[in-house]
Amino acid sequence: MTIRIGDTAPDFDCETTEGPLNFYAYLGSAWGLLFSHPKDFTPVCTTELGQVSRLKEEWAKRGVKVIGLSVDPVEFHRRWAQDIEQTQKVKLNFPVIADHDQYVSNLYGMIHPNSGLGNFTVRDVFVIGPDKKVKLTLTYPASTGRNFSEILRVIDSLQLTDKFKVATPSDWRQGEDVIIEPAVSDQEAKQMYPKGWRAEKEYLRYVRQEDLKEATS
């Protein structure tokens, strides 16, 4: 099964390092970040789990619930958590799914036949909105650690564009100018953004992010 942007994220029950849980119940009305690892005790993934744990306050600030996945059993995960704490100097602070039967991996298409990993999951990322729709999918090679600062940046963009009729330009960062969607006419834009906007082309109109808040007040 291939999960694409806009698809409904499949629900599932699973065993995790924090006990049994239902995915939808765990997410509640929050945003979700589901990310997979080929197996426990792998070097790149050890650094990633440590980094995600360090970013606990950043996920909370954005209302994001994080959950990891590996095909190894819970007892392996708990031993791995000790290694993570020892080497990364931070405690694992989110659940990791023990997908030993590969049910979730297959449900989300995490086992790619040409990855060279056999029956292990590839390193996928899924960002899921409060509506349980998939907003982002990423697949990383085994040799390249994930950039979670970039994933946070994308979540900032997704949350902003989910609320307003805007898009974010290349390399956009929180607080920078955004782009008015082409579907919004100039007449609509005048009502939405009375302070105006900067037009470089008729289809490329920039508005200050701070004016988005004023437009809804």
pLDDT digits 0-9 by tens, 8-39: 999 999 999 999 999 999 999 999 999 999 88
Radius of gyration for the alpha carbons in the chain, expressed in angstroms and rounded: 20
- Percent of the chain residues topping a pLDDT of 70: 94
How do the domains of the chain map onto residue ranges?
13-145, 164-216
At the fourth CATH level, which superfamily is domain 164-216? Antioxidant, Horf6; Chain A, domain2 (3.30.1020.10)
User: Is 0.95 surpassed by the pTM of this model?
Assistant: no
In one-letter notation, the amino acid at residue 54 is R
At the fourth CATH level, which superfamily is domain 13-145? Glutaredoxin (3.40.30.10)
pLDDT at 141: 87
Q: What is the mean pLDDT of residues 80-97?
A: 98
Annotation marks residue 45 as catalytic = yes
How far is Cα 182 from Cα 202, in angstroms, rounded to an integer? 9
Catalytic-role residue among 9, 34, 45, 69: 45
